[in-house]
Amino acid sequence: MATAHQEIDTEVCVVGGGPAGLVLALLMLRSGARVTVLERARAHEREARGEILQPGAQALLDELGVLAGARARGAQEHDRFRLFEGERMLLEADYRLLPAPYDHLLSLPRTHLLDELLAHCRRSPGFRYLPGRRVGGLVWRDGRIAGVTADGPDGRCTVRARAVVGADGRYSRVRRLAGIGAGRTEALHHVLLWCTLKAGGADAPPLREVRVFRTGDGPVVVYGSWPDRIHLGWTLPQHGHRALTALGADRVRERLARAVPPYATAIREQIRALGDLGLLDVFSARARRWVDDGLVLIGDAAHTHGPIAAQGITLAIQDAVVLHPVLSGALAAGDVGADRLAAFEGRRGPDVAAVVRMQTRQSRALLSGGAFATRVRPYLARALRHTPLHRRMLQRIAYGGPVIRVVDARVCGRP
């Protein structure tokens, strides 16, 4: 049966309803723009992912009036991040040293964040949300990008827009369609064996912290999540996981249980087959450019981040907040050309690069062994703990760079 071809006209077309896309949509709606968001996933089909929010993300979501509602759906606070080798603690970042109220990491399930953002977007009459639509083409007009085409349950649709925002994540289709290179770096390329366990049991203390356990194979990150769950992610060198999984479920389970002693019982009871462990490719990348005529890339589509140091969601939200006045100004001036939009990349590029350098250092600290990593660095870290330098480093991990504030919608004006 032939399906109708839907045609939609909007001002801003956002591809991807993840943290970057929905925060940008909300800000542009509040500035009076008409916004259409196309999201590949249908409701409640969204993939499971890391969910740790740094204080920088919490502060911005609070400013947007979204944090309290998202937290009320269920969340868990973590006071600190600690690196262990067996039972021995090597390094610690204590978030309680930061000023309240953002003196913790927050484990917030992705659906709670996205559903709350969507609820706020839906209060604006100019909002249109199209779930289950996979963008597969760009609309070009006079040599510039002027919309997208997407396939969904009701057939194909064309969305024409004054500006397109690619917020479609690390494998961004929009980026590829625009002919922009992903800029993948191999330095942080790993695989992650990932599972969620039910918390509880005699040997599992309540987790108010994010823990990383160093193993000979690769570090294992463990943290508690709402409600009564433990997320566990084992970072392994690219291809290294094949040798490991070839050992079979029993031996993998035993290695994991020995590497993470406090959760050994939960691991032995709940991981029954290799299929209980999901496999994810993790890498970092920086797109060759973030703008084109009529197009901006934000979040993971522009610069991709793995789970190390839990920075990706914070950076994605910050991108949206920084892009908001740039895009509003461009629409108001009737000029969404690459030269004007380049102000966004100019402002964000150096901050994102600084966070990537920090993630690379942290990755090395987690992955490296030897006397320096196990004896000297922990000694230095303990000696520095009560110094201003330690607080400055913590501040940087928590906020990622200079403080970013939401620009008042009235200042941006109606595009």
Ligand X SMILES: Cc1cc2nc3c(=O)[nH]c(=O)nc-3n(C[C@H](O)[C@H](O)[C@H](O)COP(=O)(O)OP(=O)(O)OC[C@H]3O[C@@H](n4cnc5c(N)ncnc54)[C@H](O)[C@@H]3O)c2cc1C
Q: Could you say whether residue 18 binds ligand X (CB under 6 A)?
A: yes
Task: Tell whether residue 164 is a contact of ligand X (CB under 6 A).
Answer: no
Between 132 and 337, name the residue whose CB sits nearer to ligand X.
132
The tokens for 338 are: 């690459």
Choices 93-101, 153-161, 310-318, 381-389 (CB under 6 A): range interacting with ligand X = 310-318
Residue type, 115: D
Of 46 and 214, CB closest to ligand X? 46
Q: What are phi and psi of 88, to 5 degrees?
A: -90, 130
Residue nearer to ligand X on the CB measure, 16 or 294: 16
Phi first, then psi, for residue 203 (nearest 5°) are -95, 10
Q: Which tokens sit at 156?
A: 């194909």
CB of 241 to ligand X, least distance (A): 14
Q: Which is nearer to ligand X, 218 or 299 (CB)?
A: 299
Number of Cβ within 10 Å of residue 181's Cβ equals 12
For the bound state, the minimum distance from the C-beta of residue 106 to ligand X, rounded and expressed in Å, comes to 10
40 scored as a contact of ligand X (CB under 6 A):
yes
CA distance 155 to 140: 21
The residue among 352, 370, 360, 332 whose CA lies nearest residue 162 is 332
- From the list 307, 325, 401, 415, which residue makes contact with ligand X (rule: CB under 6 A)? 307
User: What is the distance between the alpha carbons of residues 402 and 396, in angstroms, rounded to a whole number?
Assistant: 8
Q: Which of 58, 76, 314, 359 binds ligand X (CB under 6 A)?
A: 314
Instruction: Indicate the residue type of 15.
Output: V
Which token pair is 90? 């090597």
Site residues (CB under 6 A) for ligand X, limited to 168-197:
168-169, 173, 192
- Print the binding letters for residues 262-301 with ligand X: x by CB under 6 A, - otherwise: ------------------x-x----------------xx-
Query: Quick one: which of 299, 398, 313 has its CA closest to 109?
Result: 313
- Figure out which of the listed residues 117, 230, 297, 310 binds ligand X, where binding follows CB under 6 A: 310
Minimum CB distance to ligand X smaller for 106 or for 373: 106
List the alpha helices (DSSP H) in 97-190: 110-121, 173-177
- Using CB under 6 A, pick the residue from 14, 17, 188, 213 that binds ligand X: 17
- The only residue of 305, 324, 359, 406 in contact with ligand X, by rule CB under 6 A: 305
The residue at minimum Cβ distance from ligand X is 50
Which residue in the set 109, 166, 224, 312 belongs to the binding site for ligand X (CB under 6 A)?
A: 312
User: Closest CB to ligand X among 291 and 373?
Assistant: 291
Q: Which stretch binds ligand X (CB under 6 A): 41-49, 74-82, 118-126, 254-262?
A: 41-49
Question: Residue 67 is which amino acid?
Answer: L
Q: Report the relative pairing of strands 52-53 and 209-213 from DSSP bridges.
A: unpaired
Token pair listed for 300: 């993971």
Using CB under 6 A as the binding rule, the residues of this chain from 96 to 135 that contact ligand X are 134-135
Query: Exposure of 74 by Cβ count < 10 A (0-12 exposed, 13-18 middle, 19+ buried)?
Result: middle
Contacts of 274 (CB under 8 A, 6+ apart): 245, 248, 249, 252
**DSSP assignments along 303-345, one per residue:** EE--STTS-HHHHHHHHHHHHHHHHHHHHHHT---HHHHHHHH
Among 31, 36, 284, 311, binds ligand X (CB under 6 A): 311
Give me the least distance between CB of 153 and ligand X, in Å please.
Answer: 13
Nearest to 315 by CA among 23, 14, 109, 33: 23
> Considering beta carbons, is residue 256 or 316 the nearer one to ligand X?
316
**From CA 131, how far away is CA 313, in angstroms rounded?**
21
Q: Are strands 163-166 and 295-297 parallel, antiparallel or unpaired?
A: parallel
Nearer to ligand X, 134 or 340 (CB): 134
Work out how close the CB of 66 gets to ligand X at its nearest, in angstroms, rounded to a whole number: 14
> Least separation, in Å, of the C-beta of 96 and ligand X?
20
Closer residue to ligand X in complex, CB, 219/306: 306
Would you tell me which residues interact with ligand X (CB under 6 A)?
A: 15-21, 38-41, 46, 49-52, 134-135, 167-169, 173, 192, 280, 282, 299-300, 305-307, 310-314, 316
